[in-house]
């Protein structure tokens, strides 16, 4: 017997990169990355074998599609709901239990209906899980049509007066003068320290791969081309994993840029270990994308050989906690749980709305003012990720960085750590400017991912839980930053010293003989453009109906 539902109409949720270059990076963009007609299904291959659908733990996508559509026959007609395509993250991998379904029919884009029909039509034991598109219900946040930040920091170069504290770092000859973040986080001291601890110098030769899930990476950039490994295009771009936007190239450079051109090239955080970048394109040329592309990208990374040790995701989508599906309000996501269980460290951005996570966030200038009662950012708020906020050169929390509402909630409402995110100099596609200075939690995220790569090279068995403890053990705690965000700012050297004798991660050290921690000179913050808009005031200035 067929069942019918009252079906509300709702806006689908898309992702966007979190950097703040107004000309190229967009926030949640209407109609782009629409995957409301998509499901991700984890199949129990043993159960399918019992139905005669597998041979040697393999089942092809056409067989699964036909099986699902045959099962739906007794519930709905072909024009109402059907499986249009079935894919795997790695093409032709018939042993992969995870499959990506696109749907057709009048019910295809309605949240929760397709998964309900599948569960009714088939024995539930066949499925390990079924994920609807981001698990967002019918009253979800409507999506802005335009970039919410404008030119507040985008394309603004670092003022000369902010370079006063960088003389010590410049003497090393490697970092570019605009790389204030390396000085502030005691990078040089940390690299010297790693050379003195047991195994620190030799282990730095261990190869570590960081997957950058973003807009792709410029394969021709001289500072990156020698460290790229095969990647994956999850959006079906005509340029493959090459970057048509710039955001992904910028993030990759923060992690691993190699100094190839004196006086121009920035120094990547993890460039002094044997780091490689796996470009995984999950956002399109406009910097927008959908959940299924991200899911494909993460699943591809998990199934690569060798697989990456770190995932860097400078992306996110904001919504009201009340709009999450009731079954997912624990904020446990199977995708990221599986990645962490596989030994991968997952780093994500806190978002640039300048909003209190878990608290009320309001747009007061929009045509249709809207208040979100419990503002959250996904995937930042998922339990199985490391969430990163952004700090300024003057040790304050960046004005655009989301922060803790400090409300009593059933879920985490703050980032795990803050890292340099304002006016970060890094690589940009060579057919544009080759280098650029932009700001955002998108920039802070790969900074922490680079630190994770360093730690994974020294101690390959480092878990995500240990990594969180590591970055928090040496955090610098400016009172304004901590009072607002509840966490401090990353400091690599201080974390190494604080965590260096902890036997659980295999570091064995202390302060090296004859070595003293360098003085950290104060660095003035950047000047904000008077033409910029406040993040909150333009967050929902135009919305989809």
**C-alpha to C-alpha distance for 399 and 397, rounded to whole angstroms:** 6
Residue entry with tokens 């024009």: 79
Q: Are 222 and 331 contained in the same domain? A: yes
Among the listed residues 21, 132, 174, 214, the single catalytic one is: 214
The answer as to whether 250 is a domain residue is: yes
Instruction: Point out the domain boundary residue: 463, 479, 498.
Output: 498
SS (H, E, C) 410-427: CCCCCCCEEEECCCEEEE
Same domain? For 189 and 117 the reply is no
First-last CA distance in the chain: 35
Q: What is the pLDDT of residues 221-244, one digit of tens each?
A: 999 999 999 999 999 899 999 999
Residue-range definition of the domain harbouring residue 182? 160-498
CA nearest neighbour of 185 among 447, 440, 426, 437: 447
Query: Looking at 115, 132, 149, which one is the last position of a domain?
Result: 132
Residue 151 resides in a domain: no
Q: Which pLDDT band holds residue 90 (cuts at 50, 70, 90)?
A: confident
Three-class DSSP category at 243: coil
Separation of CA 351 from chain center: 10
Residues 169, 128, single domain; the answer is no
447 and 312 belong to one structural domain = yes
From residue 55, how far is each of 10, 69, 93, 421 by CA, in Å?
41, 20, 13, 51
Q: Note whether 100 and 198 are same-domain residues.
A: no
**Angle formed by the axes of helices 113-121 and 61-72, nearest 10°:** 90
The answer to whether residues 122 and 171 belong to one domain is no
Same domain, yes or no: 396 and 436: yes
Span of 252-261, 262-271, 318-327, 421-430 with lowest mean pLDDT? 318-327
Rounded average pLDDT over 57-82 = 92
How far apart CA 102 and CA 292 sit, in angstroms, is: 10
Backbone torsions φ then ψ of 363, nearest 5 degrees = -95, 120
pLDDT per residue over 458-516, tens digit each? Answer: 889 999 999 999 999 999 999 999 999 999 999 999 998 887 655 455 454 443 333 34
Structural contact between residues 424 and 474, judged by C-beta atoms closer than 8 angstroms: no
Residues 253 and 401 in one domain: yes
* 201, 329: one domain: yes
Are 53 and 197 contained in the same domain?
Answer: no
Write out the E strands in 359-409. Answer: 361-363, 370-372, 375-378, 386-391, 403-404
CATH code of the domain in which 337 resides: 3.40.50.200
Residue 467 resides in a domain: yes
Q: Which residues contact 55 (CB under 8 A, 6 or more apart)?
A: none
The catalytic position among 257, 426, 442, 541 is 442
pLDDT (tens digit per residue) in 361-411:
876 555 566 788 899 888 898 988 999 999 999 999 999 999 999 998 988
Domains in the chain, number: 2
Residue 164: strand, helix, or coil: helix
End position of a domain, from candidates 132, 149, 183: 132
Do residues 231 and 317 share a domain? yes
Query: Is the residue at 31 inside a domain?
Result: no
Which of 8, 14, 7 has its CA nearest to residue 544?
14
> Would residue 2 count as lying in a domain?
no
Choice among 14, 21, 35, 247 that is catalytic = 247
Burial of 5 (0-12, 13-18, 19+ CB in 10 A): exposed
Q: How far is CA 106 from CA 77, 80, 139, in A?
A: 10, 5, 19
Q: CATH number of the domain that 77 lies in? A: 3.30.70
pTM: 0.81
- Residue 214 bears catalytic tag: yes
186-230 per-position pLDDT tens digit: 999 998 888 777 555 566 678 999 999 999 999 999 999 999 999
467 and 408 in a common domain: yes
Determine the Cα–Cα distance for residues 149 and 26; give it in Å rounded to an integer: 9
3-state secondary structure 298-352: HHHHHHCCCCCCEEEECEEEEEEHHHECHHHCCCCCHHHHHHHHCCCEEEEECCC
Query: Cβ distance 477 to 429 under 8 Å?
Result: no
- Residue 507: predicted pLDDT: 52
| Residue 520, domain member (yes or no) | no
At 138, the pLDDT band (50, 70, 90 cuts) reads very low
30 within domain boundaries: no
Reported as a single tens digit per residue, the pLDDT across 432-471 is 999 999 999 999 999 999 999 999 998 899 999 999 999 9
């Amino acid at each position: 017997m067929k069942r019918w539902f009252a079906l509300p109409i709702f806006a689908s949720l898309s992702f966007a990169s979190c950097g703040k270059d107004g000309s190229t990076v967009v926030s949640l963009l209407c109609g782009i990355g629409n995957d409301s007609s998509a499901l991700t299904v984890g199949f129990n291959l043993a159960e399918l074998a019992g139905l005669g659908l597998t041979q040697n733990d393999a089942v092809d996508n056409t067989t699964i599609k036909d099986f699902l559509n045959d099962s739906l026959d007794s519930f709905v007609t072909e024009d109402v709901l059907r499986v249009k395509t079935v894919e795997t993250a790695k093409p032709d991998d018939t042993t992969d239990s995870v499959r990506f379904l696109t749907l057709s029919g009048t019910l295809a884009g309605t949240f929760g209906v397709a998964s309900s029909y599948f569960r009714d039509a088939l024995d539930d034991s066949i499925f390990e899980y079924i994920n609807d598109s981001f698990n967002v219900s019918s009253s979800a946040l409507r999506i802005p049509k335009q970039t919410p930040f404008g030119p507040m920091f985008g394309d603004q170069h670092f003022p000369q007066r902010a370079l006063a504290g960088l003389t010590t770092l410049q003497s090393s000859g490697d970092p570019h003068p605009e790389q204030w973040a390396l000085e502030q986080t005691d990078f040089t001291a940390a690299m010297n320290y790693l050379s003195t601890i047991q195994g620190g110098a030799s282990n730095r030769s261990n190869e570590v791969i960081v997957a950058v899930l973003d807009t792709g990476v410029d394969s021709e950039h001289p500072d990156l081309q020698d460290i790229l490994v095969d990647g994956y295009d999850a959006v079906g771009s005509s340029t493959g994993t090459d970057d048509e936007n710039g955001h992904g190239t910028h993030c990759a450079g923060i992690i691993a840029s190699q100094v190839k051109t004196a006086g121009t090239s920035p120094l990547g955080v993890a460039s002094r270990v044997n780091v490689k970048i796996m470009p995984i394109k999950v956002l399109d040329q406009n910097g927008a994308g959908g959940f299924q592309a991200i899911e494909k990208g993460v699943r591809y990374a998990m199934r690569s050989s060798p697989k990456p040790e770190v995932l860097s995701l400078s992306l996110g989508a904001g919504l009201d906690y009340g709009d999450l599906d009731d079954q997912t309000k624990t904020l446990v996501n199977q995708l990221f749980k599986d990645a962490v269980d596989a030994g991968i460290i997952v780093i994500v951005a806190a978002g640039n709305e300048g909003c209190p996570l878990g608290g009320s966030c309001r747009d007061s200038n929009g045509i249709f003012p809207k208040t979100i009662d419990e503002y959250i950012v996904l995937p930042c708020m998922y339990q199985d990720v490391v969430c990163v906020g952004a700090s300024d050169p003057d040790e304050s929390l960046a004005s655009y960085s989301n922060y803790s509402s400090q409300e009593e909630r059933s879920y985490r409402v703050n980032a795990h750590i803050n890292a340099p995110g304002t006016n970060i100099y890094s690589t940009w596609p060579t057919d544009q400017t080759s280098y650029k200075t932009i700001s955002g939690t998108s920039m802070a995220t790969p900074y922490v991912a680079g630190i994770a790569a360093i730690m994974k090279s020294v101690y390959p068995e480092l878990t995500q839980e240990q990594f969180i403890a590591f970055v928090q053990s040496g955090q610098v705690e400016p009172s304004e930053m901590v009072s607002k965000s509840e966490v401090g700012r990353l400091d690599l050297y201080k974390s190494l010293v604080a965590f260096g004798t902890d036997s659980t991660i295999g570091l064995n050290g202390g302060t090296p003989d004859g070595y003293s921690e360098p003085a950290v000179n104060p660095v003035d913050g950047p000047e904000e453009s008077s033409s910029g808009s406040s993040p909150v005031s333009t967050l929902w200035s135009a919305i989809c109906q």
